Amino acid sequence: MPVVAGAAASASGLSKTFPGARPALADIAFEVRRGERVALLGASGSGKSTLLRCLCGLETADVGPGGIEIFGETLQQAGRLAPDVRSLRRRVGIIFQQFNLVGRLSVLTNVLTGLAAELPLRRAILGRFSLGERARAMDALTAVGLASHAFQRASTLSGGQQQRAAIARALVQGAELVLADEPVASLDPESTRRVMELMLALNQAEGLTLIVSLHHVGLARRYCDRVLALRAGRLVFDGGTAELTPSFLKDLYGTAAEELVMGDETTEGPASSSPVLAAGAA
């Protein structure tokens, strides 16, 4: 799929310091264009999660000249969120390592919570969704291969299935930019492959822009075209994933490069481009 003109996300002069700690981010600047697949790489403590939380407005940056734009509109500037931040957040989906599903609720209901931001507060709290909204959620579950699991409790799903349900929640939200924070860190190799191929397929079929935080360099090379590498809160590399060789990583990170996994069985062979995954055990 060709990259659509225009920036999906951009940051300039972005810094973030938590009380009593060294800067988590220091003068970060980059631009991600629509339709790109970008890996966010770095060892623990490099600032990956903080950057993703800033990009969706869950964290505000330090007061100063730094800012973030999403689809050409200001999300935050000088440590303040924009007044219309809610409307911008609807265009940004975030996927966490821990899935963040409510185990006692059905898979369908969990996916429907992606609509909460656009519904009247009372209806969202009471879970009163229209037939049209339920149809949207079923379409999203079909896209991730989980339609047959819609009425199961979320707690009965495997880890890979729960992560796919979290992706469906972002789809029903109408997200155009998906931020994934270590989305496969707790999954087995087969579930990892399924989740990563699903995100690749959605990028290719739906034009979703992806920024994916990863520890696995092999996954970054296989599923992403570009990498933003962080070290101690600073952006130290912005370029093609093909450059992520062991020697390059050693030069970039020193001994911390040992924390980054170069490859495993999930990275062998060509990536699939199928837009729909069959429902399975993973």
Listed by start position, the domains of the chain span: 1-91+178-272, 94-175
CB atoms within 10 A of CB 88: 21
Alpha carbon 162 to its chain centroid, in Å, reads 15
Yes or no: say if 28 and 15 are a contact pair by the CB < 8 Å rule: yes
- The alpha carbon torsion through 120, 122, 124, 125 (nearest 10 deg) reads 160
pLDDT exceeding 90 applies to what percent of the chain? 73
Yes or no: say if 25 and 43 are a contact pair by the CB < 8 Å rule: no
- What CA–CA distance (Å, rounded) separates 234 from 211? 17
Task: Indicate left, alpha or beta for 93 from its phi (over 0: left) and psi (-120 to 50: alpha).
Answer: beta
Q: Is the pLDDT at 278 greater than 60, yes or no?
A: no
DSSP 145-214: T-GGGTTSBGGGS-HHHHHHHHHHHHHHHT-SEEEEESTTTTS-HHHHHHHHHHHHHHHHHH--EEEEEE
- What CA–CA distance (Å, rounded) separates 169 from 112? 7
Among the listed ranges 219-223, 224-228, 252-256, 261-265, which one has the minimum average pLDDT value? 261-265
Identical fold for domains 1-91+178-272 and 94-175, yes or no, is yes
Q: Is the pLDDT at 231 greater than 90, yes or no?
A: yes
131-151 exposure pattern, b = at least 16 Cβ within 10 A, e = fewer: eebbebbbebbebbbbbebbe
CA triplet 157, 160, 165: central angle to 5 degrees? 65
Residues near 48 by beta carbon (within 8 Å), at least 6 away in sequence: 40, 41, 42, 181, 182, 213, 230
Among the listed ranges 17-21, 68-72, 258-262, which one has the minimum average pLDDT value? 258-262
Q: Give the tens place of pLDDT for each residue, 254-263.
A: 888 888 876 6
Q: Give the tens place of pLDDT for each residue, 76-120.
A: 999 999 998 988 988 999 999 888 899 999 999 999 999 887 777
Residues near 129 by beta carbon (within 8 Å), at least 6 away in sequence: 112, 115, 119, 123, 137
- What CA–CA distance (Å, rounded) separates 222 from 205? 18
Choose among 211, 183, 196, 164: nearest CA to 268: 196
Specify the fold of 94-175: Rossmann fold (3.40.50)
Domain boundaries 1-91+178-272, corresponding CATH code: 3.40.50.300
Averaged pLDDT score across all residues of the chain: 89
pTM for the whole thing? 0.88
